[in-house]
Amino acid sequence: MPTWLERNGLHVALAVAWVATLGSLYFSEVRGYVPCPLCWYQRILMYPLAIILPLGLWWRDRALPRYAIALAAAGWCISSYHLLIERGVIAESSACKIGVSCAVRYINWFGFVTIPLLAWTAFVLIVLGSSAVHRSGSLDDVPADRPWRSVLGIVGTVGAVFAVLWRLRL
């Protein structure tokens, strides 16, 4: 019998990918924060996950966990590097000297939560959720009838929350 994460890991990954995607758009389009070069690379890896995960769940693609792990692991590597730069552990590369600095802190919630940490956390959660499903092969255990319900429920809920935030300009 698969564990909760083995059954729902891809749904968790889907919710995280949508929150991360809409969150990055919220920060840039509503709050006006200009993304640094490393932020753009992370977006390039996160945005496809917001499309691939719901489609793969809908179509019950058995290879979906592999695609998600590949993209999220690459994003995790970039966000780890970004986090080290932002924390001052390593010096900025020449790529980070074009445009906005990769060390800039637009937010600093609770004294430690920054945008690079949010991205790092999102990629880790996607890797963990996708790995649990991949390892257990539990994609076959999800009921085959109406897979669109969970996909539309997650995407709709996350989309509605961000639509309200966008409208309120919070």
Residue holding tokens 């809409």? 22
CA–CA gap between residue 67 and residue 61 (Å, rounded): 10
Give SS3 for 109. strand
Q: What is the pLDDT of residues 48-86, one digit of tens each?
A: 999 999 999 888 899 999 999 999 999 999 999 999 999
pLDDT score of 148 more than 70: no
CA–CA gap between residue 94 and residue 48 (Å, rounded): 27
Structure confidence at residue 144 as a pLDDT band (50, 70, 90): low
CA–CA gap between residue 75 and residue 81 (Å, rounded): 10
8 vs 37, which has greater pLDDT?
37
CATH code at position 90: 1.20.1550
Q: Which domain holds residue 72?
A: 4-168
Among 30, 39, 32, residue whose Cα is nearest residue 114: 39
CA–CA gap between residue 123 and residue 135 (Å, rounded): 18
Mean pLDDT comparison of 6-15, 22-31, 117-126, highest-scoring range: 117-126
Structure confidence at residue 35 as a pLDDT band (50, 70, 90): very high
CA–CA gap between residue 151 and residue 33 (Å, rounded): 30
Number of structural domains, the chain?
Answer: 1
Structure confidence at residue 19 as a pLDDT band (50, 70, 90): very high
Q: How many CB atoms lie within 10 A of CB 153?
A: 12
Query: Which pLDDT score is estimated for 44?
Result: 97
The gap between the terminal CA atoms of the chain, to the nearest Å, is 43
Mean pLDDT for 84-93 is 91
Structure confidence at residue 36 as a pLDDT band (50, 70, 90): very high
Structure confidence at residue 92 as a pLDDT band (50, 70, 90): confident
Query: Which pLDDT score is estimated for 169?
Result: 64
